[in-house]
Copies of this chain bind each other. A is one copy, B any other.
């Protein structure tokens, strides 16, 4: 977990971004979080490290981390549906299986779909550029 922080910090630096107190606080909250957090929740957590942190900086930092593929956005429910979770899988790109009841998230790697997409590309002649996958269900505890 401390690993994660170190890796993230180095990545930011290597991309030319500054490692500020605000960003450190947000990264630490994200790395410590067990599950996905809304910007609001993340702000609350990160403020324990950095009292004057503004919510707007949380939004900005999340946009940056999302661009760098260090966090991934999780959609859930109707209201306040955006939340964010640290990317821990080595493969980078992955998808989420979300529990409709408790919000628990299970990650699954993109490679599970590679084969389907490859066949689709071969059959149709399309050059596939991107895909969006959304899977919803109920976790073992909530069934």
- Residues of A at under 8 Å CB distance from B? 66, 73-76, 78, 81-82, 97, 99-100, 106, 108, 112-113, 116-117, 119-121, 124-140, 143
Contact = CB atoms under 8 A, between A and B. Distances in A.
B135 A117 contact: yes
A134 B82 CA distance: 13
Contact of A112 (B74, B76, B119, B140): B119
A66 to B, nearest CB: 8
A37 to B, nearest CB: 15
Nearest to A120: B108
A138 to B, nearest CB: 5
Contact of A131 (B125, B129, B133, B143): B133
Contacts of A126: 97, 99, 106, 135, 137-140
Nearest to A78: B73
A62 to B, nearest CB: 10
Given A126-B139, A140-B126, A112 B116 contact: yes
